[in-house]
């Protein structure tokens, strides 16, 4: 079996709906180990056991964390310290609220790469607005 281009790369995946999971699926298809952070009670479209969600999250490992609890955030930070890349597609405020934004994570792992697919940027008057696929794409 041939080596894949992203063998040895670990991605901590906070993405959801479609645009983010497609991006991490493609990285996984190229050999990255993708660890999907799940919610215990996913919102609509978040259930990986239904339809399109099965395809979007194929070959990913998963962990369910309560990011509204300090222990869940601490576990996520420990996973980030063992990862090369942390990806999300939330509005800018979400990862910052959890202390999982780039500035916070580089204190945990200086060479961390953060990819944030927020639809309306991380600064400016609309940075905390939520967007979906067509805007991200």
Of residues 39 and 83, which shows the higher confidence score? 83
Is 71 a domain residue? yes
* pTM (two decimals): 0.84
Q: Express each pLDDT in 42-86 by its tens digit.
A: 666 555 555 566 678 888 999 999 999 999 999 999 999 999 999
Report the C-alpha gap between 78 and 32 in whole angstroms.
19
Is 53 a domain residue? yes
* CATH code (residue 31): 3.40.50.10540
Q: Please give the structure tokens belonging to residue 12.
A: 């901590």
pLDDT over threshold 90, residue 127: no
Range with lowest mean pLDDT among 13-22, 67-76, 103-112: 13-22
What is the dihedral sign for C-alpha 84, 103, 21, 57? positive
Is 51 a domain residue? yes
Distance from chain centroid for Cα 18: 12
Is 1 a domain residue? no
Of residues 111 and 1, which shows the higher confidence score? 111
Of residues 132 and 49, which shows the higher confidence score? 132
Confidence of residue 39 (pLDDT cuts 50, 70, 90): confident
Report the C-alpha gap between 19 and 59 in whole angstroms.
17
Is 37 a domain residue? yes
- The count of structural domains within the chain is 1
Segment 99-109 shows an average pLDDT of 95
Is 133 a domain residue? no
Q: What is the pLDDT of residue 41?
A: 67
Q: What is the pLDDT of residue 119?
A: 72
Domain boundaries, position 42? 10-123
Report the C-alpha gap between 30 and 3 in whole angstroms.
9
Is 99 a domain residue? yes
Is 89 a domain residue? yes
């Amino acid at each position: 079996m041939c080596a894949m281009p992203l063998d040895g790369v670990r991605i901590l995946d906070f993405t959801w709906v479609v645009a983010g999971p497609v991006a991490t699926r493609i990285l996984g298809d190229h050999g990255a180990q993708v660890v999907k952070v799940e919610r215990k009670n996913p919102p609509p479209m978040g259930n990986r056991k239904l339809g399109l969600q099965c395809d979007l999250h194929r070959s990913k490992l998963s962990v369910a964390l309560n990011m509204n609890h300090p222990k869940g955030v601490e576990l996520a930070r420990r996973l980030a310290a063992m990862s090369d890349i942390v990806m999300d597609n939330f509005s800018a405020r979400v990862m910052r609220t959890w202390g999982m934004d780039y500035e916070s994570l580089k204190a945990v792992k200086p060479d961390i790469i953060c990819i944030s697919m927020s639809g309306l940027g991380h600064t400016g008057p609309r940075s905390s607005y939520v967007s979906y696929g067509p805007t991200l794409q």
